[in-house]
Amino acid sequence: MSQTVDRALRILPLLAEGPANLEQVATRLDVHKSTALRLLRTLHEHGMVYRQEDQRYRLGARLFALAQQAMETLDVREIAHPHLLALNEKIGHTIHLAVYEEGEVVYIDKVESRYPVRMYSRIGKPVAITVAAVAKLLLADLPEAERRSIAERLEYPKYTAKSTPDAAAFLAELLRVREQGWATDLGGHEESINCVGAPIRGADGRIAAAMSVSAPNVVVTADELLKLRPLILRTAEAISREYSGNTVSKDTP
């Protein structure tokens, strides 16, 4: 990267901290004021920074517009798929990716199990919203009033003896998921199927999608599947970093 481009790019995170004057920019970049002024003028011409009446510079509207445009064109499925494939290579179980759209939680990607026993879920098919791990994650991230409104108008089918029975139980489960940062469906939809889910977050920190690993009891027990939780969370965090543009890694608890 050229020195000029490098310096110009270093100005943007500086101004993200708040408005700064010419001297402050020059000091942070360790350059002469004339060099800092030239860089700021170029960024100003392209709308990336804006000079206020007090002669301090702040981030420009054009930068925010470009960021919004980039976010709108990001395809979480395209970003997540290689990570899901890599996880499937390690553990062999079925992996789903889901999003919340227009009142439904829908699968947008699936990596099939490498074991003979397969699941009959399909891409594009809504999930069982009151029991599915991915649904719990996506709904748990909503504001409390919205969570309550959704929970109170849902029906609660008794798929199995472990299915969520009513709105009160569902809201309690969503709160638990919100606090712990992951979710499960241990026989709530099908007695023989267990599932562990993890959130995928966007640049704003909100949950944009959710992934899950599912397996039948004949392949692994629920306890054995739960032991994969750290690996599932690390995969979700890796997807989140790439999707949000935050490449700084952090340890998964």
Question: What's the pLDDT tens digit per position in 128-169?
Answer: 999 999 999 999 999 999 999 999 999 999 999 999 999 999
Residue 249 confidence (pLDDT):
44
Residue 67 confidence (pLDDT):
65
**What burial class does residue 122 get, using C-beta atoms within 10 Å of its C-beta: 0-12 exposed, 13-18 middle, 19+ buried?**
exposed
> What phi and psi, each to the nearest 5 degrees, are found at residue 73?
-95, -5
Element holding 216 (H helix, E strand): strand 207-216
CA 177 – CA 140 distance, rounded (Å): 6
Residue 185 confidence (pLDDT):
96
Residue 9 confidence (pLDDT):
85
Residue 124 confidence (pLDDT):
80
The candidate with the shortest Cα–Cα distance to 36, out of 66, 57, 64, is: 57
User: What Rg do the C-alpha atoms of the chain give, in angstroms?
Assistant: 23
Q: What is the largest CA-CA distance in the chain?
A: 73
Residue 199 confidence (pLDDT):
97
Contact 173, 136 (CB under 8 A): yes
Distances (CA, A) of 147 to 12, 53, 153, 167, 178: 37, 44, 10, 10, 11
Which parts of the chain register pLDDT below 70?
A: 1, 67-74, 247-253
Beta partners for 210? 98, 199
Quick: pLDDT tens for 72-95.
Answer: 545 899 999 999 999 999 999 999
Residue 251 confidence (pLDDT):
42
CA 190 – CA 194 distance, rounded (Å): 8
Give the predicted TM-score (pTM) of the model.
0.71
DSSP state of 125: P
DSSP state of 126: B
Q: What is the token pair recorded at 194?
A: 């267990």
Taking phi first (over 0 means left), then psi (-120 to 50 degrees means alpha), and beta for anything else, what does residue 125 get? beta
Residue 248 confidence (pLDDT):
47
Residue 117 confidence (pLDDT):
73
Residue 74 confidence (pLDDT):
54
Residue 70 confidence (pLDDT):
58
Spatial CB neighbours of 105, under 8 Å, sequence gap ≥ 6: 98, 99, 126, 127, 129, 132, 134, 135, 138, 139
Residue 250 confidence (pLDDT):
43
The candidate with the shortest Cα–Cα distance to 57, out of 109, 21, 103, is: 21
